Structure 1
Amino acid sequence: MTVDMDEFWVFGYGSLMWNPGFRFEERSTARAFGYRRSLCVRSWVHRGTQQRPGLVLGLDYGGSCIGTAFRVDGSEKTAVIDYLRERELVTHVYKEKTMPVQLADGRRVPALTYVIDRAHVQYAGALSAPEAAAIVAVSSGKSGPNSEYVFNTLAHLKEMGIRDHWLEEVVAMLTA
């Protein structure tokens, strides 16, 4: 299949999947290769504090990640990029990156996404499910308990038909 090189796509792997916050022309399940969804970002505001950081999602190196790709009308590209930068680059824990993703119909398209900056102080590293669950269980920030964020994320993924075994393991430990 051919892809129009003037198309603009955005790849979401967390809340962007169910709450993009921008208009789009097409939505598709998509897979990014070389990165995985991970609770690898220390949250100092929304789901924790600097004294007791919580964990939120980042796209970290290794594996692959099923998420959602959005095709945005070219006339909206600048406005969408401005919106995403304001939303995602608050503390610069993420790096803006355009990378290929494979859509559900087999097309491969370049998509803008945000990956973790491993050199950033908020990068928590590759945690085991028990380590992540222990942090999430005791953290809370201005947007509420960290566990609420993790439960909500997994519920949305399940609604979309996306399995994330590692996140499921974290939730199982939180509910045990």
Structure 2
Amino acid sequence: MKKVILTAILLSFIMVYANGQTDKRHFSYTAYAGTGISMSQPSRTPFTGQLIAHYHINQRFVIGAGSGLSVYEKLLIPLYASAQFNIIKPRKLTPYLECNIGGSFATSKKANGGFYLSPSVGAQFSISRKLKMNFTLGYELQELERLKKYTDQYFHTEFKEELSHHSITLKIGLTY
């Protein structure tokens, strides 16, 4: 039994070492900057900046984790899981589907982040062997809870306002 386990471990190390000698990259990083068209009230044009670390499972499927900044009326820091599926095998121009899901944190003391969802469709243009440019069109749902004050000469109150921002997003990025 010990010989079987030792042989399995030895074969695993040989496979990992042999796979490491190929030119396949298993990790990549994507930096995005983008804006959008707001579809909710109160209407705010969002700005997003994101950085995603990817692990390539195979040529067509990529998973990862990301974070960044989302600016609506408050600054939010989303933290999410990412999945990307290349519609065709990677070429000079590769279309893909991507979905980011997670939550966000607010930087203001009088606000809380919430649920974050961002499915998109995009195209990846290969600039060089290690550098690719991404263009995406997608949808973004960003929930936010904030404390509002209302004051006039007769009435003073504070209340919790729950907002759900919906927007069509346009992003451009670099994958390296």
TM range (shorter): under 0.3
Q: Please, what TM-score do these two structures have when normalized by structure 2?
A: 0.25
Q: Please, what TM-score do these two structures have when normalized by structure 1?
A: 0.25
- Which protein shows a greater Rg? 2
